[in-house]
């Protein structure tokens, strides 16, 4: 029998499966192509089930440490270390961390990342929030009026009453778990 190789996706994970004459081996990779787990079984179906079980156990362990569904600082560390953030996204995180009370408007975030308009900052911060939410398998607490996720609230509080007195612009407040993760990751 020839060795047969295949690949399946389970959420953000990729499972590579090798079917050999007497066993089936699998390796699970995270979304950044880092090895997450591996194992072997008799059949392909058993290997796939084992991969599902490993991922499910991991997700349950992560979720059990969350308070009110918010990822822990260690989870944010893992996300920051695994995802490919743009220079602008890092610049906004750094500025947000160093801001008084960890509050910045979208215009201030745009300025920190050298974006010409606050729309770019909102888009990039929202994209970052979505990447992290997808990686950590969470749904942000904040919602738009139509009920769709407000992705930025993965990394910021979902409060809607924080305005800058001088400009009247909404201020985004960095989550303490994100701030703690940035201290661990460094470079702030």
Q: Average pLDDT for residues 157-163, to the nearest whole number?
A: 65
Query: Chain-wide mean pLDDT for the chain?
Result: 90
Using CA atoms, how far apart are residues 63 and 138, in angstroms rounded to an integer? 9
SS3 (DSSP) at 97: helix
pLDDT single digits (tens) 89-145: 999 999 999 999 999 999 999 999 999 988 899 999 999 999 999 989 899 989 988
Q: How crowded is the C-beta side of 102, counted as CA atoms within 13 Å?
A: 15
Q: Are 7 and 13 in contact (CB under 8 A)?
A: no
13-19 β-sheet, strand order = 4-10, 13-19, 24-29, 35-41
Q: Are 121 and 109 in contact (CB under 8 A)?
A: yes
Instruction: Please tell me the pTM assigned to this model.
Output: 0.79
**According to the model, what pLDDT value does residue 159 have?**
66
């Amino acid at each position: 029998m020839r060795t047969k190789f295949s690949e399946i996706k389970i959420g953000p994970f990729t499972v590579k499966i090798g079917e050999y004459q007497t066993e089936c081996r699998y390796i699970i990779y995270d979304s950044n192509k880092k090895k997450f787990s591996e194992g072997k079984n008799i059949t392909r179906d058993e290997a796939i089930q084992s991969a599902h079980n490993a991922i499910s156990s991991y997700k349950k362990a992560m979720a059990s440490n969350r308070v009110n569904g918010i990822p822990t600082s260690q989870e944010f560390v893992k996300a920051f270390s695994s995802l490919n953030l743009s220079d602008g996204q890092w610049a906004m995180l750094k500025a947000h961390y160093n801001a008084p009370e960890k509050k910045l408007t979208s215009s201030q975030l745009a300025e920190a990342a050298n974006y010409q308009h606050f729309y770019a900052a909102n888009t990039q911060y929202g994209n970052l929030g979505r990447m992290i939410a997808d990686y950590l398998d969470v749904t942000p607490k904040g919602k738009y009026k139509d009920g769709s996720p407000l992705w930025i609230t993965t990394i910021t509080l979902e409060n809607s009453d924080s305005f800058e007195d001088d400009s009247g612009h909404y201020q985004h407040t960095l989550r303490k778990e994100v701030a703690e993760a940035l201290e661990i990751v460094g470079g702030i």
